[in-house]
């Protein structure tokens, strides 16, 4: 993990044309620019939630909240054994207040962000302080709408986290999100 984090710091400092992995994200650069990664081992974490149905016949649902340590190599962090299950909400339907399950998790993540002193790393005699921070929070659209307490997406700005400007097409009464504005060629967003 220490080697992966050293490589991530180097990759972030070198820059890239676009986003390739978490070291190129603005959130990671935020930590790096403010020297928050210089105090010892740092574990960036992706926290995510998504609903699932236990059985289609009876409609029982659950909402797991999991954390993925991003300081592992990409082929390790995508394996199930490295996904840290934080909570699964009880069914039978969607939780009425999903946010109430997130408050205790946020408190523990705040403690990790302050640092856990006294960690002994193999091949080292000096104790270090382990730091962790949430780099991103992911969810599906219905889950995100539930957490943001949103009502529908009939908007020129589709996503509340990323500004994708839309184009209204009167003939179809729909809003589309192309890469460029068909009327003047302005670039809405870049990438693949």
- pLDDT tops 80 at residue 107: yes
Across the range 67-86, mean pLDDT stands at 84
**Annotated domain spans of the chain:** 2-150, 153-192
Across the range 5-20, mean pLDDT stands at 75
Q: If pLDDT is split at 50, 70 and 90, which confidence band does 56 have?
A: low
Which string of b and e fits 173-189 if b means at least 16 CB within 10 Å? eebeeeeeeeeeeeeee
- pLDDT tops 80 at residue 92: no
User: Cα dist. 22→51, 72, 163, 176 in Å?
Assistant: 24, 11, 19, 28
Q: Per mean pLDDT, which range of 32-46, 49-63, 115-129, 159-173 is the poorest?
A: 159-173
Q: Between residues 107 and 153, which one has the greater pLDDT?
A: 107
132 close to 21: Cβ distance less than 8 angstroms: no
Q: If pLDDT is split at 50, 70 and 90, which confidence band does 70 have?
A: confident
User: Could you write out the DSSP letters of every residue in 5-67?
Assistant: HHHHHHHHHH--SS--SGGGSHHHHHHHHTTTTSSS-EEEEEEEE--EEEETTTTEEE-EEEE
- pLDDT tops 80 at residue 4: no
Mean pLDDT of the chain: 77
Under DSSP, is residue 81 helix (H, G, I), strand (E, B) or coil? helix
What is residue 11's predicted lDDT score, i.e. its pLDDT?
80
46 close to 136: Cβ distance less than 8 angstroms: yes
């Amino acid at each position: 993990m220490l080697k992966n984090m050293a490589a991530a710091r180097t990759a972030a400092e070198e820059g890239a044309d676009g986003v390739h992995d978490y070291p190129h994200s603005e959130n990671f650069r935020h930590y790096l620019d403010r020297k928050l990664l210089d105090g010892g081992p740092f574990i960036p974490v992706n926290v995510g939630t998504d609903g699932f149905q236990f059985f289609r016949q009876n409609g029982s649902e659950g909402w797991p909240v999991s954390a993925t340590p991003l300081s592992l190599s990409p082929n390790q962090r995508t394996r199930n054994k490295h996904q840290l299950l934080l909570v699964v909400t009880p069914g039978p339907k969607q939780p009425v207040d999903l946010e109430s399950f997130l408050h205790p998790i946020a408190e523990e993540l705040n403690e990790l962000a302050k640092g856990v002193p006294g960690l002994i790393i193999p091949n080292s005699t000096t104790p270090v302080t382990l730091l962790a921070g949430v780099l991103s929070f992911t969810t599906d659209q219905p889950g995100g709408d539930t957490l943001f307490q949103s009502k529908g997406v009939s908007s020129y700005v589709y996503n509340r986290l990323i500004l994708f400007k839309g184009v209204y097409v009167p003939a179809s009464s729909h809003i589309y999100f192309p890469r460029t504005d068909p009327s003047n060629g302005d670039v809405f967003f870049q990438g693949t």
